[in-house]
Homo-oligomer: A and B are copies of this chain.
Amino acid sequence: MTSTMLAECADCPIRHRAVCALCEPHELTLLEDIKYYRQFAPGDTIVWAGEKLDFVASVVTGMAALNRTMEDGRRQITGLLLPSDFLGRPGRSSVRYDVSAISDVSLCCFRRKPFEDLVESTPHIGQRLLEMSMDELDAAREWMLVLGRKTARERIASLLAMILQRETQAKPADAGSALRIDLPLSREGIADCLGMTLETVSRQLSHLKRDGVIQLEGRRTVLIPDMDQLLLEAADDADGGVLD
């Protein structure tokens, strides 16, 4: 199955959230001309830090991580890419971090140079890109509070809450049913996200389970009986209120 023969943009699951969200139909065709799809398996490295990157892309499905690694092996995940998130930076042909696929990832790639030209010539793309980077900047700053000031237990709760909120904003949850997270990350991945060790992650998950905040089903599924309590555990005052 060649991945290049794929649906029209009009049918795309991320059409209204990705970098193309504000595009008019005629702008969309311009993007369509320079796009192609690529797939990655869990663990694949999509780009290495410093390597030339001849495309930018939207994540269509799956999850990817941006990670910085120190020479002695310490690693920090500095961002998670979920469907509709944007990878790469117009005006710069390399990134400062590795990007790796966590689950099966499919990317909608745009050839770099033509895309950069479109950013210049098509206001709606640049505008959306600006919105998205500012959202990411807010999220990154939010995460700095988690990394700098929260306890291990609060970090775990914060991560679960964040994933849940990003997923339910993608596809609004079936209210009523207990909230469920299928973690794409291993314990080590969680640890690298939260600036802890995998052992601490495991212990805190066990504690949260013991205290009834979460339930564990297998190794990768977390059930949240009470979202409010999770947010309480996350010590999150920002209740995701709408800003304008």
How far is B142's CA from A53's CA once the two chains are assembled, in angstroms?
20
A16 at the interface (CB under 8 A from B): no
Docked pose: A138 CA to B96 CA in angstroms: 8
Q: In the complex, are the beta carbons of B96 and A244 less than 8 A apart?
A: no
B244/A92 in contact, CB under 8 A: yes
Q: Is A5 at the interface (CB under 8 A from chain B)? A: no
Contact of A243 among B72, B92, B244 (CB under 8 A): B92
> How far is B145's CA from A91's CA once the two chains are assembled, in angstroms?
24
Contact check, A141 vs B66: say whether CB atoms are below 8 A apart: yes
Q: Which residues of chain B have C-beta atoms less than 8 A from A74's C-beta?
A: 149-150
Which of the candidate stretches A7-15, A121-129, A166-174, A216-224 sits at the interface with the other chain?
A121-129
This protein's copies in its complex = 2
Tell me if A78 and B141 are in contact (CB < 8 A). yes
Tell me the complex Cα distance, A89–B133, Å.
11
B145 touching A68 by the CB < 8 A rule?
Answer: yes
Task: Verify if A33 is at the interface (C-beta below 8 Å from B).
Answer: no
- Say whether A71 contacts B235, CB under 8 Å: yes
Q: Is A120 an interface residue (CB 8 A)?
A: yes
- Is A115 positioned at the interface, with any CB of B under 8 Å from its CB? no
Q: Which residues of chain A (106-153) have a CB below 8 Å from chain B?
A: 120, 123, 126-127, 129-131, 133-134, 136-138, 140-145, 147-150
User: CA separation between A145 and B72, bound complex, in Å?
Assistant: 13
Q: Name which of A70, A143, A149, A243 has the most chain B CB atoms within 10 A of its CB.
A: A149
Chain B residues with CB under 8 Å of A235's CB are: 70-72
Chain A residues proximal to chain B, CB less than 8 Å: 66, 68, 70-72, 74-76, 78-79, 89-94, 96-97, 120, 123, 126-127, 129-131, 133-134, 136-138, 140-145, 147-150, 194-195, 235, 237-238, 243-244
- Known contacts A140-B140, A147-B148; 10 further A-B pairs (Cβ under 8 A): A71-B235, A71-B237, A92-B134, A96-B141, A123-B123, A126-B126, A129-B130, A136-B137, A144-B144, A147-B195
